[in-house]
């Protein structure tokens, strides 16, 4: 096989930086499925990994990119055939195994999901880890008893990839969504995607008592920190909070009163190590009933392997809204 382009991240003298370079197959991590990448995406985690702004990568050098969709070039796993369209998200891709920012990707077969009929490779990557995470939130909340008729769901960080996609998915499933975003110019767009109300964080007027007036039936939180701590006392009886991110801090302060007096549940969402049977179930849902009707409107821009670092800067500078794709063939 000829050489191909990969965005590989190095650590040199304690400094982390990535560069586009020519690669060989024997430089990639082990695996029994070789994929010709069509699209990848840029998540906040990718921006942290690709710039060294966060401790994401487990070893160096490493090809970054936690998502990829493309076609099978070669497979030693009998589940997959040459030419079949597939996708991979999470599972350690782009963290401890060479990832999706490459023209060629090699992975273990048990990480690979056949692309559902209702999705193209581009659509699968507009969803990517962000959409999969939003779907996992809804699934876990409903498994724990959440119902649309309980009342509104609060979605924080609603201008980011997870938030925008969650707003669409939850609203399509008949939930009333109250979205929270610090980016006021995005509010009209978020409302157009299905939110019944869009607020600035300062407009939440969160109380400071251990138990406050019940205002939301549940929440999907991308922020963590003080915002999450302030939301918990306002969740109603038997409500669920899906905890996704920590953009506002990794600590969590509060009391157990909402948990033991209202039955509120904090649900940890870890899309990276989701079991494969559930992973396949959720991708099937995302290709049918849970597929956002305005999926293309969630797409912010399409970059290439040469320009993907622009996406890192956009995400880390909090200048982006929605999803950024990488066309690995361009």
pLDDT value of position 249:
86
pLDDT value of position 320:
78
90: its two tokens: 């999470």
Within-domain flag for 307: yes
Neighbouring residues of 177: CB distance < 8 A, sequence distance ≥ 6: 152, 153, 155, 166, 167, 170, 171, 194, 195, 196
Within-domain flag for 195: yes
CATH number at residue 264: 3.40.50.720
Within-domain flag for 283: no
Please write the tens of the pLDDT for every residue from 307-322. Answer: 999 999 999 888 777 8
- Which residues does residue 155 pair with via DSSP β-bridges, in sequence order? 179, 220
pLDDT value of position 54:
87
What is the domain extent for residue 215? 129-268
Within-domain flag for 193: yes
Average pLDDT on 24-31 reads 97
| Cα-based angle 203, 193, 227 (whole degrees, multiple of 5) | 30
- Do residue 46 and residue 95 come from a single domain? yes
Considering its fold, how many domains does the chain have in total?
Answer: 2
- Do residue 196 and residue 88 come from a single domain? no
- Do residue 149 and residue 110 come from a single domain? no
Within-domain flag for 176: yes
Please write the tens of the pLDDT for every residue from 48-63. Answer: 999 999 889 999 999 9
| Cα-based angle 201, 206, 212 (whole degrees, multiple of 5) | 150
222: its two tokens: 């991308």
Neighbouring residues of 26: CB distance < 8 A, sequence distance ≥ 6: none
Rg (CA), the chain: 20
Please write the tens of the pLDDT for every residue from 134-188. Answer: 999 999 999 999 999 999 999 999 999 999 999 999 999 999 999 999 999 999 9
Under the phi-then-psi rule, with left for phi > 0, alpha for psi from -120 to 50, and beta for the rest, what region is 318?
A: left
Compute φ and ψ for 59, nearest 5 degrees. Answer: -155, 165
Average pLDDT on 229-233 reads 98
1 pLDDT above the threshold of 90? no
- Do residue 103 and residue 168 come from a single domain? no
Please write the tens of the pLDDT for every residue from 260-303. Answer: 999 999 999 999 999 999 999 999 999 999 999 999 999 999 99
- Do residue 100 and residue 185 come from a single domain? no
Neighbouring residues of 59: CB distance < 8 A, sequence distance ≥ 6: 96
**How far is the C-alpha of 183 from the C-alpha of 169, rounded, in Å?**
21
- Do residue 103 and residue 146 come from a single domain? no
- Do residue 172 and residue 263 come from a single domain? yes
Within-domain flag for 26: yes
CATH number at residue 56: 3.90.180.10
Under the phi-then-psi rule, with left for phi > 0, alpha for psi from -120 to 50, and beta for the rest, what region is 320?
A: beta
Average pLDDT on 91-118 reads 98
175: its two tokens: 């939930």
pLDDT value of position 247:
82
Nearest to 215 by CA among 199, 201, 227, 231: 231
83: its two tokens: 């030419």
- Do residue 194 and residue 219 come from a single domain? yes
38 pLDDT above the threshold of 90? yes
- Do residue 180 and residue 55 come from a single domain? no
Within-domain flag for 123: no
Within-domain flag for 277: no
- Do residue 40 and residue 136 come from a single domain? no
- Do residue 74 and residue 111 come from a single domain? yes
- Do residue 167 and residue 70 come from a single domain? no
pTM of the model: 0.95
CB atoms within 10 A of CB 190: 24
């Amino acid at each position: 096989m000829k050489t191909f382009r990969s965005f590989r991240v190095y650590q040199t003298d304690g400094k982390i930086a990535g560069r586009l370079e020519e690669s060989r197959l024997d430089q990639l991590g082990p695996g029994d499925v070789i994929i010709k990448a069509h699209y990848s995406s840029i998540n906040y985690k990718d921006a942290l990994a690709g710039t060294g702004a966060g401790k994401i990568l487990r070893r160096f050098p490493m090809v970054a990119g936690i998502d990829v969709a493309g076609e099978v070039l070669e497979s030693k796993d009998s589940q997959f055939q040459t030419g079949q369209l597939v996708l991979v998200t999470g599972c350690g891709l782009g963290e401890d195994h060479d990832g999706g920012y490459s023209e060629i990707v090699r992975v273990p077969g048990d990480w690979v999901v056949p692309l559902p009929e209702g999705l193209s490779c581009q659509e699968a990557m507009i969803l990517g880890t962000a959409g999969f995470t939003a779907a996992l939130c809804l699934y876990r909340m409903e498994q724990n008893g959440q119902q649309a008729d309980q009342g509104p769901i609060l979605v924080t960080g609603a201008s980011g990839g997870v938030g925008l996609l969650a707003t669409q998915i939850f609203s399509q499933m008949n939930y009333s969504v109250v979205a929270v975003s610090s980016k006021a110019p995005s509010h009209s767009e978020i409302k157009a995607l299905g939110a019944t109300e869009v607020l600035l964080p300062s407009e939440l007027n969160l109380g400071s008592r251990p138990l406050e007036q019940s205002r939301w039936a549940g929440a999907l939180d991308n922020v963590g920190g003080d915002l999450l701590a302030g939301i918990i006392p306002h969740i109603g009886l038997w409500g669920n909070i899906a905890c996704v991110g920590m953009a506002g801090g990794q600590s969590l302060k509060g009391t157990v009163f909402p948990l033991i007096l209202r039955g509120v549940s904090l649900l940890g969402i870890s899309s990276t190590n989701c079991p494969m049977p559930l992973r396949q179930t959720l991708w099937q849902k995302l290709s049918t009933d849970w597929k956002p009707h305005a999926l293309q409107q969630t797409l912010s821009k399409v970059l290439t392997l040469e320009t993907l670092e622009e996406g890192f800067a956009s995400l880390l500078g909090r200048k982006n809204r929605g999803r950024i794709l990488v066309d690995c063939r361009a």
